[in-house]
Amino acid sequence: MLRPLFSFPGGIKPDSHKDDSSRTPIAPAPLPERLTLPLRQSAGVMPLPTVRVGDRVKKGQVIASADKWVSASLHAPTSGKVADIGKYPMAHPSGLPALAIVIESDGLDEWRERQPLDWQRLAPQAVRQYLQQSGVVGLGGALFPSHVKLDTETRIEELIINGAECEPYITCDDRLMRERAAEIVSGVALLRDFTGARQTLIAIENNKPEAIRAMRGAISEHGENFAVVTLPTRYPAGSLRQLVYTLTGKRAPSNVLPTAMGVQCFNVATAHSIWRAIVLGEPVVRRVVTVSGNVRAPGNWDAPIGMSMTALLELSGTFPDTDGLIAGGPMMGLPLPLATGAPLTKDSNCLIARSPRLFPPRPPESPCIRCTACAQVCPQGLQPFELYWWSRARNFEKAADYALAECIECGCCAYVCPASIPLVHYFRFAKGELAAAAREQKMADSARFRFEFRQFRIEREKAEKAEKLARAAAAQAAKQKSAAAVEAPAASGEPAPMASLKSHDQPCAPNPEPR
């Protein structure tokens, strides 16, 4: 029975460029001599290092432990020695370094002790803590800790497993579903049991027929009732809010999580990592990465976290005219220099070698002609040309009025813009300015609160001091009045009240004994 689908507005159909890298099986990447592991590899609070320079570690050992609930631990991808803990280049447009742990491999790749988790005998909170300590996060790109998504009191009606992989060039999830479908289905079954979902939907775009057949075959072998839903190929069908709407018809605004509507969503690679953590006792130390673009042998590599991006590109053989790389897909990825020292992280799903032939320079930006092509392809139903004008004019409050927060930065608007305006750059700039203004306002409110509380405390202390002085003065006045009352009779020759009282208090002389 075909499941009815809902069509989100807009979207585009760029050339997929997926065939080159999806033809060959996943290949294991060789173990590098050094691994650089950024501490910030999950949404939320950065974990705290648990090792020191010179320590020897084993593969899978915790090297940075989660500090707060919205955080995830980090593990050694191989055995060796901690060579350094310091700041190193990261895959970020700013180019700024970030704190990382460097491990020198000993070549043994020796695991620490591994054992499966008997999760059925544990409380749900203990299972979530185990996943947190296993470093399981969303491997689709968001890096949100998976244990937090499982920590909800809302009843989950639909569990969605995202295998859409809609962005061009990226095929790591496609190959993962083809080759490891049984493990993914087992991980999905665990998620179903953890969430208590009424129905489970596995969404795959129709340009992945081999993955669809593999997943349906694995579901049949496991005897599960999961539904594999085939989606029309359209970007960004794999985006969270578009995917939820397509499958359920439920719209989630930017300030509402799908969980509040009874929907929970996980990537297929995340389901696979959950299976490895629960069944094999292995934390997240490797991931499948697509290498494509201007290379001789496009494909997918099973690579350790912390491996140099440049080293992984070289395994596929870059052509001489390669002038840079893209970390991620061409629509939402980060352009980086070819000689970047940035390492792979848990969200590194694709590396694309750039060249002028594949990615020619964009024409110079020209004035907006209000053709509204951007509005026609916006999957959020926004008016990007209006957002552009207000962002460019630095009227960020007006841009916010036009629902800037709803922009998912998918890049559809910039893709179709005939004026070659980098619209997403303007929107990111406006969001950053609004966030900075919000932080400044928060700091100002906090400062004002502290000032007002200090004034209140000073006035309260003054009042307490005045009250204390008044009580002391009243007590002194009462004491003086009492002393004056005692001295007044003595001055007039009359016995003092206290003296008279004392005379009455003296015992009487005893009666003489009878003779």
Tokens of 461: 């202390």
Query: Looking at this protein, which amino acid is placed at residue 9?
Result: P
| pLDDT the model gives residue 1 | 53
How distant is the alpha carbon of residue 31 from its chain centre?
A: 28
Report how far residue 241's alpha carbon sits from residue 253's, in angstroms, rounded to the nearest whole number: 8
Q: Which residues pair with 267 in a beta bridge?
A: 162
Residue 123 burial (C-beta neighbours within 10 Å; 0-12, 13-18, 19+): exposed
| pLDDT the model gives residue 54 | 97
Q: Please list, in sequence order, all residues whose beta carbon lies within 8 angstroms of the beta carbon of residue 275, skipping any fewer than 6 positions away.
A: 183, 184, 186, 187, 190
pTM comes to: 0.86
| pLDDT the model gives residue 178 | 98
Residue 52 burial (C-beta neighbours within 10 Å; 0-12, 13-18, 19+): exposed
| pLDDT the model gives residue 152 | 83
Q: Please list, in sequence order, all residues whose beta carbon lies within 8 angstroms of the beta carbon of residue 217, skipping any fewer than 6 positions away.
A: 181
Under DSSP, the state recorded for 12 is B
Tokens 């005045």, residue? 466
Sign of CA dihedral 467, 473, 476, 478: negative
| pLDDT the model gives residue 2 | 66
Residue 512 dihedral angles phi and psi, to the nearest 5°:
-65, 145
- What is the number of residues in the chain? 515
Count other C-beta atoms under 10 Å from residue 453's C-beta. Answer: 10
Contact in structure between 295 and 320 (CB atoms under 8 Å): no
Report how far residue 207's alpha carbon sits from residue 168's, in angstroms, rounded to the nearest whole number: 11
Report how far residue 367's alpha carbon sits from residue 79's, in angstroms, rounded to the nearest whole number: 56
Tokens of 264: 């929970």
Residue 228 dihedral angles phi and psi, to the nearest 5°:
-90, 115
* 26 to 23, 78, 125: CA distances (angstroms): 10, 20, 35
Half-sphere exposure of 492 (CA within 13 A, CB side): 10
Contact in structure between 236 and 410 (CB atoms under 8 Å): yes
Domains and CATH numbers, the chain: 19-30+123-316 (3.40.50.11540), 362-485 (1.10.1060)
| Cis preceding-peptide flag for 47 (omega within 30 of 0) | no
Q: Which residues pair with 104 in a beta bridge?
A: 34, 81
Task: Provide the residue-wise pLDDT of the chain in tens; the chain has 515 residues.
Answer: 567 899 999 999 999 999 999 999 999 999 999 999 999 999 999 999 999 999 999 999 999 999 899 999 999 999 999 999 999 998 876 778 999 999 999 999 999 999 999 999 999 999 999 999 999 999 988 899 999 999 888 899 999 999 999 999 999 999 999 999 999 999 999 999 999 999 999 999 999 999 999 999 999 999 999 999 999 999 999 999 999 999 999 987 777 888 889 999 999 999 999 999 999 999 999 999 999 999 999 999 999 999 999 999 999 999 999 999 999 999 999 999 888 889 999 999 999 999 999 999 989 999 999 999 999 999 999 999 999 999 999 999 999 999 999 999 999 999 999 999 999 999 999 999 999 999 999 999 999 999 999 999 999 999 999 999 999 888 888 888 888 877 776 666 555 554 444 444 445 444 544 44
Report how far residue 72's alpha carbon sits from residue 85's, in angstroms, rounded to the nearest whole number: 18
How distant is the alpha carbon of residue 381 from its chain centre?
A: 25
| pLDDT the model gives residue 514 | 47
State the first-to-last Cα distance of the chain, in angstroms, to the nearest integer: 132
How many H-runs (helices) and E-runs (strands) does the chain carry? 15, 17
Tokens of 90: 């990261």
Query: Beta strand 350-354 with 286-293: parallel, antiparallel or unpaired?
Result: parallel
